[in-house]
Chains A and B, each alone.
Chain A
C-alpha cells in the first residue's frame, strides 16, 4: 500500500477520525430512534400495569400475553381510572404518574427526603384495584414490577421483570408459573402488614395455602427470590400509610 500505516501521526489521525465517525453515527442513530424507543417504553409500562391487575391476553396456562401495543393506550385509559402521586401526606392526582422514575423516587423516600410515590387505581367489573410499582435488587442487576391489591389487601396479580438475571434460573421471575402463585395471597397477617415471602423449601409447591404469606421460590435462584421478597416488603412499607386508609374505609 502507498500509505505507511506504521507512522505515529497516521495512527493518531486514524484514531481521531474513527472516533468522530463512530461517535457521530451512534449519536445519529440514538437521536433518530429515541422517539420510537420512548414510546415503546411507555407502552410497556402501561402493559405491565394492566397485566398486574389482570387485564391481559393470556389464552393458556404457560405464556405471558400482554394487551397488544396498538390497543394498550386505549385500554389503559379505560381501566386505570385514577393515577395518584403520594408525597408525604399529600395525595394528588396526576395523569402521568406512571412515567415517574420509581427507583429514584423510592430512594428519595427511603433516605427520608420527600419523594413522589405513584399509585394506580384500576376498576374492573365494579371492583377497585390498587396497583403499586416496585423496585429492587436481584442477583446481577435491577428487578422491578407491579403488584395489584384489592381493598382487603389480597393480591390480585403481579408482574415482575428484570434487567439481567440468569437465563433459565432467576430470569424465570417473569414466567407465569411463578407470578401466578402470588394471586390470592394476602399481604396482611392478622392486622399486620406482613408482605409476601418468596420461600425456599418445597412444602407447598402447588401453592394451595393462601394464608401463609408465602410463595414457593424459584429453583436455583435464591438471591433473585430473596430480592423479590425484599422488594415486596420495601414497597409495602413505603405505601403502608396509604394502604391503611384504604383498609380502614372497607
Chain B
C-alpha cells in the first residue's frame, strides 16, 4: 500500500469490512439476491460494478462544482446510464461472448443503490482521486459479499463452482453423491441469498461488537 496514502488506503479497506455497503449499510441487497445463484454471474457483476462505480465517481467528482443541486440526482442517473450503455456497446463490438453473459446485469447496475449512494455521499464532496479510490473500495466491498454468497449458493445448490462439478455428478451418483449427498435446491432461490447474507452479517457483528447499534 505504499502507493497510497493512509487516508486513501482507508477509502478502499473500510468498505471491505467495517463499512461494507451490503452487510453494514444494507445497500444493494436487491442485486445481491437476484444474481448470486451462480459464482460466475457474481464475479461478472462484481467486476462491472467496480468499473461503473469507479468511473462514475470520477466523472461526478469532476463535475461536482458545476452540477445544479436541484437536478443533481438526474445528472447522476444520466452519468451512470451513459457509462453503462457505452460499456455495453464496446463489449458487444469487441467481446461479444462476455457481453452476452453481462447483458442481464446492465439494467441492474443502473438501479444499484450503492452507485447512487456513493455519488451522493462521496463524489459530490470530494476530489476525483479520492472519489476513484472510494468507488473501487465500495464496489469491491459489494463484490466481495456477492462472491461469498454466490460461492455458497452454487456449491450447496448445484454442487458446482463456475460450472465445474466439484462434488461429483448428481445423476450418475459419483463423488459425494455416491454417499447419499443431495443438492439443496432451496439454495438456488432468492430467500436463501437473504439468509446467507444474514449469516455473514451475524458473523461480522459477533467479531466486531462496535458494529452493533445500541437501542
Q: Is the C-beta of A88 less than 8 angstroms from some C-beta in chain B?
A: no
In the complex, what distance in Å separates the CA atom of A36 from the CA atom of B85? 16
The answer to whether B90 and A168 touch across the interface, beta carbons within 8 angstroms, is: no
Residue A100, interface by CB 8 Å: no
> Considering only CB atoms, which chain A residue lies closest to B190 in the complex?
A166
For residue B27, CB closer than 8 A to chain A, the reply is: no
Residues of chain A with a CB closer than 8 A to B74's CB:
15
Which residue of chain B is the closest to A11 with respect to CB atoms? B68
Whether the pair B86, A40 counts as a contact (CB closer than 8 A) is no
Inter-chain CA distance A219–B185, complex, in Å, is 8
Segment of B35-43, B137-145, B202-210 in the binding face: B35-43
Given A5-B67, A37-B89, A167-B37, check contact A18 B78 (CB 8 Å): yes
B70 interface residue per 8 A CB criterion? yes
Known contacts A63-B163, A167-B38, A168-B41; decide if A33 and B188 are in contact (CB<8 Å).
no
Is A89's beta carbon under 8 Å from chain B? no
Flag whether A44 is at the interface (Cβ < 8 A).
yes
The residue among A6, A10, A33 with the most chain B CB atoms within 10 A of its own CB is A33
Q: Are A36 and B154 in contact (CB under 8 A)?
A: no
A44 touches B96 (CB 8 A): yes
Q: Is the CB of B71 within 8 A of A29?
A: no
Cα distance A219–B183 when bound, in Å? 11
* CB-based contact A167/B94 at 8 Å: no
The reply to whether the CB of B113 lies closer than 8 angstroms to some CB of chain A is no
Q: Which residues of A contact B69 (CB under 8 A)?
A: 5-6
Considering only CB atoms and an 8 Å cut-off, how many residues of chain A contact the other chain? 35
Nearest A-chain residue to B42, judged by Cβ: A167
Chain B residues with Cβ under 8 A from A15's Cβ? 68, 71, 74
Q: Note all chain A residues with C-beta closer than 8 A to B86.
A: 25-26, 29
Residues 59-105 of B at the A interface (beta carbon under 8 Å): 65-71, 74-75, 78, 82, 85-86, 89-90, 92-94, 96, 103-104
B157: Cβ under 8 A from any A Cβ: yes
A22 and B68 in contact, given A163-B103, A167-B104 (Cβ under 8 angstroms)? no
- Tell me which residues across on chain B come within 8 A of A1, comparing CB atoms: 65-66
User: Which residues of A have CB within 8 Å of B89?
Assistant: 29-30, 33, 37
Which residues in A have their C-beta under 8 angstroms from that of B164? 62
- Whether B189 and A33, one on each chain, are in contact in the complex, defined by CB atoms closer than 8 angstroms, is no
- A248 at interface by CB-CB < 8 Å: no
CB-defined interface of B172-215 with A at 8 Å, one 1/0 digit per residue? 10000000000001001100000000000000000000000000
Known A-B contacts A40-B96, A163-B103; A168 and B66 likewise in contact (beta carbons under 8 Å): no
**Among A33, A69, A169, which residue has its beta carbon within 8 angstroms of that of B90?**
A33
Q: How far is the CB of B145 from chain A (nearest CB, A)?
A: 17
Contact A6 B35, beta carbon cutoff 8 Å:
no
Give B159-176 as 1s and 0s: 1 = Cβ < 8 Å from A's Cβ atoms: 000011100000110000
Q: Write the chain B residue with the least CB distance to A207.
A: B171
Would you call A37 and B93 a contact (CB within 8 A)?
A: yes
Bits for A2-39, please: 1 = Cβ < 8 Å to B, else 0: 01011000110011001100100110011001001100
Cβ-neighbour of B92 out of A22, A37, A171 (below 8 A) = A37
B67:A164 contact, CB within 8 angstroms? no
Q: In the complex, which residues of chain B have a beta carbon less than 8 angstroms from the beta carbon of A63?
A: 163
Cα A36 to Cα B68 with chains together (Å): 38
Q: Which of B82, B94, B172 has the most CB of A within 10 A?
A: B82
Instruction: Please give, as numbers and ranges, the residues of chain A lying within 8 Å of B71 by CB-CB distance.
Output: 11, 14-15
Cβ 8 A contact of B82, one of A22, A164, A171: A22
Q: Is B20 an interface residue (CB 8 A)?
A: no
Q: Which of A14, A19, A219 contacts B68 (CB 8 A)?
A: A14
User: B190: shortest Cβ distance to chain A, in Å?
Assistant: 9
The reply on B23 being an interface residue by CB < 8 A is no
